[in-house]
Amino acid sequence: MNLKPSPFAPEKFPTLPAVAGVRAATGSRGFYTSRGLERDDVFLFHFDAGTSCAGVFTRSATASADVLWCRDALAAGDGKASGLVVNSGNSNAFTGPKGVLKNDATLGAMVDALSTEKNRCFLGATGVIGEPLPDPNYVGSIIPDLAEKLSDPDWEACAKAFMTTDTFAKGAGFVRDIDGVQTAFSGIAKGSGMIAPNMGTMLAYVFTDAAISPELLDLALREACGLSFNAITVDSDTSTSDSLMVFATGANGAAPISDRSDPRFEAFKTALNEICLELALLIVKDGEGATKFVTIDVEGAVSSDSARTIAADIANSPLVKTALAANDANWGRVVMAVGKSGEPIDQSELSIWFDDVHVAAEGARAENYDEALATAAVTKPEINIRVRVGGGPGSSRVFTCDLTHAYVDINGAYRT
């Protein structure tokens, strides 16, 4: 499948900091050989002893075997991690007992190669649903070779290894001063379609050398997810494989953050929120066939949850998204999407802006409505839609993209 690069693709992959206590390697297991592609499609990460981890995963009732394993391992391993293996090309979802056998073989290979415990090994997979692998050890067989190649992560190589319909590798990272200690954060993500997360989206992994307890890491990750990966949508479809995990090695030399009242916890959360949002927005900007990046702000709702529902309904509306793709300032479709949400609103106060162009005011078309100005606003590659639905305290922000014919082309050819 030849994919046209996203118009929002960065000129180059960013330079991400090394994270003490993290090593990685990539390799090819041949998932894409039948499609005539020679590329890496598996990565292995190894973490120093004592690494804390946390994760949030899809709420899909058809979650993959890998997701089910990670949930169990987080609980059984007390939030500690030694290794992570992720492959693209096959999601290991809806594969029944064969999917469990694949996981058992992969985990066994990790335990042997990394000299660790099974419950401290984590898995991820992305690709076609419902296709069992020809051999349970298909992924596990490459683990020994990858373990021998472990070194400081080549972040770009890792980000490329789990791409599917992505048109560019996604990474973000920085170093932050937390109470006088330089703390590194680096993250990679993949995702382009099947994006309407109900936890985190597709696959995203964040690595830091911060020292923090698993309990507080979990708390921080859930907050970060709500502000980032749970605030994006491309096509309203929640994947069977959605996984967002963070690994904190504690190798920065600081005393562990283990109390919510520790002022370093707020600084840590700020940094984690930032990197998660950066990664999440890269996914939206690489939405399958996308030509527009759209921010939707809803205010005046009865609650923040209500505002989120309204914003998501606007973001997920095919009619809104196709209008934006065609540079059509059809604000009536936004009115429709607000109404179908089922959330309480005050129609007499419903107002809509495309960027700073007032198109609807207090339940009707704005008196100074100018079609040319509205069209100019939605013709730009980055668009803000602001909606006021009443006088309540609730507000929310959701990020999405337009819906073009290229989305149909990409997904019509996904398995060919």
Active site positions, annotated: 201
- Cα separations in angstroms, 239 against 91, 99, 195, 308: 10, 17, 7, 20
Rounded Cα distance between 173 and 101, Å, is 35
Cα distance between residue 324 and residue 285, in whole Å: 15
Q: Would you say the C-alpha torsion 280, 281, 282, 285 has a positive or negative sign? A: positive
In contact, 196 and 316? CB cutoff 8 Å: yes
Beta bridge partners of 401: 293
Residue 132 structure tokens: 């069992």
Contacts (Cβ under 8 Å, ≥6 apart) of 148? none
> 141: Cβ–Cβ under 8 A, 6 or more apart, which residues?
29, 109, 135
Contact 236, 400 (CB under 8 A): no
Do the Cβ atoms of 333 and 323 come closer than 8 Å? yes
Yes or no: say if 104 and 136 are a contact pair by the CB < 8 Å rule.
Answer: yes
Residue 158 CA to residue 86 CA, distance in Å, equals 10
Tokens of 318: 């095919």
